[in-house]
Every structure is written in structure tokens, then in C-alpha cells.
């Protein structure tokens, strides 16, 4: 646990008692603050009370008297589509609002571990797609290299729930826009921006607000080194904002698909090869093509980002290459579930938006595509240029019929359920095909989350084996 420093003897309200909220309350108490906890859910309040935490009704008019700060869980909207009423009340009362990420960075620098010869270092990863795989890959690289490392944030455990950092430890954080948007302190040693595509737009009031939330990781305190994916204009803009000139080594530019030039520090992947260039000279090259845990151009971008983060902390290229080759991938993210009769079954349930699905559809030569669910604003018409490898689409969920109208001349079948879709796709698949779950939609019409949807796909595939 990371005790929260700076609130000793003071009252701090905690709104939302899920995983991060409970960890925050415990960390506040460990730092000798008094945590006042609230959640709209009776069950959540009972769980907190059973731990000995203090329940404090934040809906009451005088709830913020004597309170020094309000710490909110990431799922609670603070501005768009409209402010949570309790957060708005804290504003009116002049009570600072923060989250566990802000408390983490505030407290990490105040711990005894900072007196080590080599204090712990933090690599924080944000972006629209690939940030989970990139974070897990960075963690894997340092672990494979013999470094103590922990993975937390939007993946793994809550940031305040990690173990006490040790000498030279590397802490890897995956941070969503929900987490970066409100944190009052963001000071990683290395910050990574993978890419940007439309997502969570209602929560951020549009694309500009969404990018602004991501950008805060690089503006609120600022990292010592920044790794920026420059395949979109937002990444190019952000990279330009962070440096004094092309040769500024605080910036590592990353791309998948284009060769990056100039005297700066550049890492890119083309035709399956990762290349590192510094000061106009090639420093390293890695063949990614046979790395089964990193299929497709989108995973090559993840590999470039992870490689860059590791190089920023001075790991040698050969050590990183060995670790990349042993990476097995993450569940629900281009996960190879199995192979039967020379047909591969790949679970990319995390491909919940058009951009992520497009990347998955470009990773395999001939595809039986399972898609659908709760469609997002804008539909999937933008996927039409990426459907060339799709032999047939098998559409499920609430938006199945809407999707059928948006995929042009691609053959399709309305399957409704995962069970029917997997059965149909496997029956019609030919040797060399890939049965790919890349929904391009949210899961909430049929499943509580993308993980459960992916589990359903895996369960149906396992029936075939």
C-alpha cells in the first residue's frame, strides 16, 4: 500500500467505493487521515463499513463541513454530460476534488523509498487503443530483464494498493482519460501516448475534451521523457508542444507504418521490422513478424511504444528484443484462443470501437468476422475500407442489423448470439482462415463488460476443440 501523505489529522471524503475507492480509503487511513466514505450503492457502503471504514452521507447539505478534499472514483462524471451532484456541491463548498491517481503521485514522492540510491520510477501509459497491451508489455520487459516491477492503474490493481516500492523498482501505470482528466498531480518519469481515436466523447464533451484529458499527463508537471505516437495529428501536435527542437532527446517519436526521419530519437515499425534511429543513425532493428504475442500492425505500434519506454530507462535493445519474443499477449486483445484444422480463433473483444476493430481486421489475411453489440455513435461505416480480408461477417447483439447496413458488399449473416456466430463461422471456415471476434461495439446489450463477452467467445471455441 502507498500511504497518502499531506492529509494527516484531516477529513477527506471518498466518493465511490469500488476497487479504487476502497483502496483510496485504506491508503488515506494509513496516512493518518480520516476517510469519510460514500457510495450510492447500499451494498458498497456495507462492504466498506464491514472493513471498519467510516460511512458519511455526502448528499446532506452540511456534508463538506470540515472536509479538506473530495476523492472521486474514475467512473463518476465531473463535468460532462453533467457534473455529479456531489462533486458540484464540493465545488460550491470550495473543497478540492482529486482522484487516486493524483494522490498516488503526490504521495509517491514523499515516501521513505525516495531516499534509496535509485528511487522508484514510474512509466505512465495513455491513449485510445493499445494502452493495456503496451503497459503489460513494458511490465513484461522489465520483469524479464530482472527488474522488480509492478503493474497498476486501469489494469491490474489500484495505484494506491501496490506494494511498497523497492530500490530501483519500475512502476507501470495504465491511465484512462477518466483517470487523467481530474488528477491534480501527474508526474511520471516516462509518459507514453499511444494514439487517439474517438471514444468516451459524451464523458469529455467531444473530441477536443477527450484529447485534452489525455494531454494532461504531459502538461500537469510533465514527464522527464515522453514517448508519443505520431500517426495522428493530435500526436504530432503533442510532440511539437513538448520539445525545443528536433534534436531534443526528451521526446521519442513512435510510428507504425511510416519511416520517421530527422536528427531526433525515432522508433517505428514497417513491414514487420522495428527500427530505432537516433541522431540520424540506426541504433537497432528487431524482426517482429514471428512474435505470436504481437500480431498485426497495431501490436507492432504497441511494441514500438513499449520498446521506447524501456530505452528511455536505458535497457539495452537485445534485452528488450528477448522480452518481446516471450510476450504471450493479453486476454481479449488479439488473443490466440486456439487452432483447429488450420483455422485460428482470435479473441479481440477489447476492440470496442471502430479504430480498434480496423486494426484487428488488418492483422490477418482471411477473416470470418464476429462483430456487433451495442453500437457507438457514428456506426461502423468507416470500417468499409478495412473489410477486404473479410470472407464473411457474423453479426450479433443489439446493433447487428444496423451493422449489416453499414458494411457494403461484405457477405454477412445475422446470428444474434455468440453461440450461433461461432458455430456458423467455424462450420464455414476454410484452412488458413481466422475466426476473429472484433466487435466494434460495446458489450452492454448482452454482457456486463468486454471481458465477459470475450470469455463467452473462448467458451464456444473450446467446445470445438
Q: From the options 1.10.1760.20, 3.90.79.10, 3.90.190.20, 1.10.1040.10, give the CATH code of 335-464.
A: 3.90.190.20
**What residue spans define the domains of the chain?**
11-98, 103-326, 335-464
Q: pLDDT for 382-430, tens place per residue?
A: 999 999 999 999 999 999 999 999 999 999 999 999 999 999 999 999 9
pLDDT of residue 248: 84
Instruction: Give the residue ranges of the chain where pLDDT is below 50.
Output: none
Which residues, other chains included, contact 146 with Cβ-Cβ below 8 Å and sequence gap of 6+? none
pLDDT, position 418: 98
What pLDDT does 311 receive? 98
Q: Tell me the binding residues.
A: 127-133
Cβ(291)–Cβ(324) below 8 Å: yes
CATH architecture of 103-326: 3-Layer(aba) Sandwich (3.40)
pLDDT, tens only, 312-333: 999 999 999 999 999 988 889 8
Known binding-site positions for ATP? 127-133
Tell the CATH topology of 11-98. Answer: Rossmann fold (3.40.50)
**pTM of the model as a whole:** 0.85
Amino acid at each position: 500500500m502507498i500511504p497518502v501523505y499531506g492529509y494527516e489529522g484531516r477529513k477527506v471524503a471518498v466518493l465511490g467505493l469500488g476497487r479504487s475507492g476502497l483502496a483510496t480509503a485504506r491508503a488515506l487511513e494509513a496516512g493518518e487521515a480520516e476517510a469519510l466514505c460514500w457510495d450510492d450503492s447500499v451494498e458498497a457502503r456495507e462492504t466498506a463499513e464491514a472493513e471498519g471504514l467510516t460511512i458519511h452521507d455526502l448528499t446532506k447539505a452540511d456534508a463538506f463541513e470540515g472536509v479538506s478534499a473530495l476523492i472521486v472514483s474514475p467512473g463518476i462524471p465531473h463535468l460532462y454530460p453533467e457534473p455529479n451532484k456531489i462533486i458540484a456541491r464540493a465545488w460550491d463548498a470550495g473543497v478540492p476534488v482529486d482522484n487516486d491517481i493524483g494522490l498516488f503521485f503526490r504521495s509517491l514522492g514523499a515516501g521513505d523509498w525516495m531516499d534509496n540510491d535509485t528511487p522508484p520510477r514510474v512509466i505512465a501509459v495513455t491513449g485510445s487503443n493499445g494502452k493495456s497491451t503496451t503497459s503489460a508489455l513494458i511490465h513484461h520487459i522489465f520483469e524479464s530483464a530482472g527488474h522488480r516491477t509492478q503493474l497498476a492503474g486501469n489494469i491490474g490493481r489500484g495505484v494506491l494498493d501496490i506494494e511498497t516500492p523497492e530500490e530501483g523498482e519500475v512502476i507501470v501505470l495504465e491511465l484512462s482519460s477518466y483517470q487523467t482528466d481530474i488528477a491534480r498531480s501527474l508526474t511520471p518519469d516516462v509518459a507514453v501516448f499511444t494514439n487517439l481515436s474517438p471514444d468516451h466523447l459524451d464523458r469529455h464533451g467531444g473530441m477536443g475534451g477527450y484529447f485534452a484529458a489525455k494531454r494532461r499527463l504531459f502538461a500537469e508537471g510533465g514527464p522527464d521523457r515522453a514517448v508519443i505516437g505520431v500517426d495522428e495529428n493530435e500526436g504530432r501536435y503533442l510532440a511539437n508542444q513538448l520539445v525545443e527542437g528536433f534534436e531534443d532527446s526528451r521526446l521519442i517519436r513512435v510510428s507504425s507504418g511510416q519511416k520517421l526521419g530527422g536528427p531526433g530519437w525515432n522508433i517505428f515499425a514497417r513491414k514487420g521490422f522495428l527500427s530505432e534511429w537516433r541522431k540520424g543513425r540506426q541504433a537497432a532493428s528487431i524482426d517482429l513478424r514471428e512474435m505470436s504475442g504481437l500480431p498485426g500492425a497495431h501490436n507492432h505500434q504497441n511494441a514500438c511504444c513499449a520498446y521506447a519506454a524501456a530505452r528511455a530507462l536505458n535497457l539495452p535493445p537485445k534485452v528488450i528484443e528477448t522480452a518481446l519474443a516471450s510476450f504471450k499477449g493479453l486476454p481479449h486483445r488479439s488473443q490466440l484462443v486456439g487452432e483447429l484444422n488450420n483455422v485460428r480463433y482470435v479473441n479481440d473483444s477489447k476492440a470496442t470501437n471502430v479504430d480498434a476493430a480496423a486494426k484487428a481486421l488488418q492483422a490477418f489475411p482471411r477473416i470470418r468476422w464476429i462483430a456487433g453489440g451495442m453500437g457507438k455513435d457514428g456506426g461502423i461505416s468507416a470500417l468499409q475500407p478495412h473489410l477486404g480480408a473479410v470472407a464473411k461477417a457474423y453479426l450479433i447483439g443489439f446493433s447487428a442489423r444496423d451493422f449489416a447496413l453499414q458494411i457494403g458488399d461484405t457477405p454477412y449473416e445475422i446470428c444474434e448470439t455468440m453461440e450461433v456466430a461461432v458455430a456458423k463461422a467455424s462450420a464455414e471456415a476454410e484452412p488458413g482462415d481466422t475466426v476473429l471476434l472484433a466487435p466494434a461495439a460495446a458489450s452492454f446489450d448482452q454482457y456486463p463488460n468486454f471481458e465477459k463477452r470475450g470469455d463467452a467467445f473462448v467458451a464456444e471455441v473450446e467446445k470445438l476443440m
